[in-house]
Structure 1
Amino acid sequence: MRLANIFHLGIKELRGLMRDPILLGLIVYSFTIAVYTEAKAVPETLNNAPIAIVDEDNSPLSRRIADSFLQPYFKPPAMITAGEMDARMDAGTDTFALDIPPNFQSDLIAGKSPVVQLNVDATRMTQAFSGSGYVQNIVSTEVAGFAAADIDGRTPTVDLALRARFNPELNQMWFASVMNVINNVTMLAIILTGTALIREREHGTVEHLLVMPLTPFEIMAAKVWSMGLVVFVATLLSLIFVVQGLLKVPVEGSIALFMAGAALHLLAATAMGIALATLAGSMPQFGLLLMLVLLPLQILSGATTPRESMPEVIQTIMLAAPNTHFILLAQAILYRGAGFSVVWPQFAWLFVIATVLFAFSLRGFRRSLR
């Protein structure tokens, strides 16, 4: 009987949403026009970009190049082996991986043109565009300085083989379109669920529900599954028809695995919407709370700027936000083609956060009904 109550209450929420043209228009706009228009607007900044160096030469020149990557543009370089480079790039640990080949300095002195390989994680568009140019300038400057000091009048050349991983065209739309869809999942899930609860309160229908053989859990669960389902379907359609179809953005990984992560994230986001609605006494107050919550979630979760560019205390605090882990798994799956073996920690975090948020919201909802 309880499952039947939850189902029928959810259907009631869907019917109420269908009669609200403003919310319907917001959903359609957010997952179509907004995704398309914002796909071309990405800031190009470089701050504390993580870089790894494979020094296969171990010469004074290679160490000189490694020592030239300084803050605030780059983090201190991680000295790794060639076997570690691909795994670290696949996991999203490094934005840049510079491979200095063996006999680099001796070939340079001999007048040859050795090639230094630079691998770039191009899913981090805010760093990839400007960062690759920074790396090339640094390598060229250090080689020229070494040549002027140690080679008699000869200025050899070094070719930098740039390989943009996961986005070979360095196309900003590939990043912005998917990130906009992900941001809208969080925003719409919170707005729709919170609005549904406040609408019940303002119309006085919450009291009608309470005189029926219904529990607060059933009322809340109905709003969570119905509004979550709307955002879930809108996300899937936007990803297939707008991102892949209209914008021609390739998706490397499993859409089914991504949508499984989206379902977990929607459980957490809709529970957050219930919690905010119980705190707000009216729709204007709910709107003010949204500004206080949504802006930090969107900006500090890694969707706008890489988390490595933020202070460590902010990075630690934002681990408690569900969309931080959702963005990590979404980028890994959709851009880098990662499987469950790579993103299972994010799934585990989302499950824990969603469970805690749902329990917290249910407790607050019960208190608001007293």
Structure 2
Amino acid sequence: MRFLFLIKKELLHFLRNKGLLVFVIYLFTGDIYIAANGIDLSLKNAKFYAVDYDMSFQSRELVSKMIKPWFDFKGYLINEKLADDFLISDKGVGVLVIPQDFSSGLKRGVFNIAIYLNGADASTGYLFAGYASDIMVDYYLENLPRKKKLAKVFTESRILYNENTLTKNFLGLSELFSVITLLVLILPASSIIREKDEGNIEMILISPLSLKRLVVAKLIAMSIVILLGSFIAVNVVLKMGLSVPVRGSIGLFLLLTLGYIFTTMGLSLLIASISENMLQVSQLAILFLLPILFLSGSWTPYESMPLIFQKMTYLSPLKYYLDAGYAVILKGLGFKFVAFDILMMFFMGLPLFVIGTYFLMKKL
């Protein structure tokens, strides 16, 4: 019973800390909503111009195929010098340069077009080039001379689990996982450091209450806070606010989250053992957070990383939590499909927890 009162005390301490309470509420609500809607990985309303030296029906027809919502045609330019000026002043993402013999060359099966891109925003420029190239290839194949007609291959993609390829589905969940990681690193460590700042450690040492019980109570209380925040984030922000389809079991997702909390909490105990104040807690939390995020695959696809970093991703507990979380929420898979990820999180978390507890007890 005394132990339950300890947990209640820690929860009340958390609720009375208005700044920390507002911070946690914002991370589980506003931060996730803004991150999901503030970034779009698809091409939208990309401004572009055209330099058309041919001014034929075919050249104008090609430009007319680049329509909204992907492209935003702003008009024709007189020459290529103006194209450079417009791109330098960031008035557009790209400029199409259509040669004078475009229509006549098209009749002979020749297709020459230049695309000038604004490389200041490399990702948007890459998307613009990809989208425009697809349109041009289709137009070329449609207008090939009859004697040069090629067999056109039609491909039909079937997208599962995110049929409309909405980036908010991925980004909302990804931000939730990042928020959970940040809070698991900060909350337990800050709760322990608060006792040191207020001088309560000495009082605990001469009281019947053991330090180990106090630490465990703090860990349980902060885990409850994170689990409650995760539950609200999934059901209110993701499901209701962002219309992300939650196909799997919320209970299984919370079980995954609990396993991830245990895995990462050892790092939080290690941070608490090193830190002397809250400033050091926040600095060390960022120091641990960035490698975990970079190596998880949430920011950079696994295949795009150098080989050495691809191997190092298996050392990031967030990688397993991401894989299992996406599988449960978006795919609706059951326990047997994520059992391996849970097992890996446990095996990674156990030594971290033991090491963190050892150094913390030694420091206190």
Give TM-score, length-normalised by structure 2: 0.70
CA distance in 1, matches of 2:171, 2:159: 17
8 Å Cα contact 1:228/1:270 also seen in 2: no
Report the Cα distance in structure 1 between the residues aligned to 2:288 and 2:261, rounded to whole angstroms: 16
Change (3 A) 1:274 1:6: farther
TM-superposed CA distance for 1:5, in Å, is: 4.7
Question: Cα deviations across residues 155-179 of structure 1 (Å, max 9, x unaligned)?
Answer: 2322120222211111111111111
SS of the residue 2:157 aligns to? strand
Match of 2:10 in 1: 13
Aligned counterpart, 1:37: 34
Which amino acid is the alignment partner of residue 6 of structure 2?
Answer: L
Amino acid of the structure 2 residue aligned with 1:270: M
Equivalent in the alignment of 2:193: 198
Q: What letter matches 1:359 in structure 2? A: V
**Distance in structure 2 (CA, Å) of the matches to 1:32 and 1:317:** 31
1:344 corresponding residue in structure 2: 339
Following superposition of structure 1 onto structure 2, how do residues 79-94 of structure 1 map, counting pairs within 5 Å? none
Q: 1:189 aligns with which of 170, 184, 189?
A: 184
Q: Which amino acid aligns with 1:178?
A: L
CA contact (8 A) 2:259 2:345 kept: yes
Q: Quote the residue 1:54 is aligned against.
A: none
Q: Indicate the residue corresponding to 1:228 in structure 2.
A: 223
1:271-310 counterparts in 2 under 5 A?
Answer: 271-310=266-305
- 2:361 corresponds in structure 1 to 366
Structure 2, unmatched stretches of 5+, are 43-122
User: For the residues of structure 2 that align with 1:303 and 1:6, how far apart are their CA atoms?
Assistant: 38
1:257 aligns to 2:252 (yes or no) = yes
- Give distance in 1, aligned partners of 2:319 and 2:202: 37
* Aligned residue number for residue 87 of structure 1: none
Whether 1:210 aligns to 2:225 is: no
Could you tell me which residue of structure 2 aligns to residue 74 of structure 1? Answer: none
Give % identity. 26
The whole-number CA distance in structure 2 between the counterparts of 1:258 and 1:358 is: 22
1:13 Cα deviation from its structure 2 partner: 1.2
Q: What is the CA RMSD across the aligned residues, in angstroms?
A: 2.9
> What TM-score comes out, normalization by structure 1 length?
0.69
Runs of 4+ in 1 over 4 A off after TM superposition: none
Structure 1 alignment gaps of length 5 or more: 46-125
Structure 1 residue matching 2:244: 3-state secondary structure: coil
Contact between 1:41 and 1:176, CA under 8 Å: does it hold in 2?
no
Quote the Cα distance in structure 1 between the aligned partners of 2:226 and 2:159. 33
- Structure 1 distance, partners of 2:209, 2:297, is 40
Aligned CA distance change for structure 1 residues 219 and 318 (closer, same or farther; 3 Å): farther
Per-residue CA deviation, residues 108-141 of structure 1 (Å, 9 max, x unaligned), is xxxxxxxxxxxxxxxxxx9xx969x68x959x69
Please tell me the residue identity of whatever aligns with 2:172: S
The corresponding residue for 1:169 is: 164
8 Å CA contact 1:6–1:221 kept in 2: the answer is: no
Shift of 1:316: 2.5
Equivalent residues, number? 279
Q: SS at 1:250's partner residue?
A: coil
Instruction: Pick closer, same or farther for the CA change 1:213–1:322 going to 2, 3 Å.
Output: farther
CA contact (8 A) 1:268 1:355 kept: yes
Cα distance in structure 1, aligned partners of 2:263 and 2:329: 21
Report deviation, 1:236: 0.4
- Mapped to 1, the partners of 2:202 and 2:327 lie a distance apart of 45
Deviations 1:72-110 (A, max 9, x none): xxxxxxxxxxxxxxxxxxxxxxxxxxxxxxxxxxxxxxx
1:93 aligned residue: none
Q: Describe the shift of the 1:242–1:215 C-alpha distance in structure 2 as closer, same or farther (beyond 3 A).
A: same
Change (3 A) 1:27 1:324: same
CA contact (8 A) 1:271 1:354 kept: yes
Distance 1:325 1:271 in 2: 17
Residue 152 of structure 1, CA deviation: 5.8
Q: Distance in 2 between matches of 1:7 and 1:365?
A: 22
Distance change in 2, residues 1:187/1:28 (3 Å): same
Distance 1:366 1:324 in 2: 29
CA distance in 2, matches of 1:288, 1:207: 26
Q: Does the CA-based 8 Å contact 1:220-1:362 persist in structure 2?
A: no
1:287 is aligned with what amino acid? S
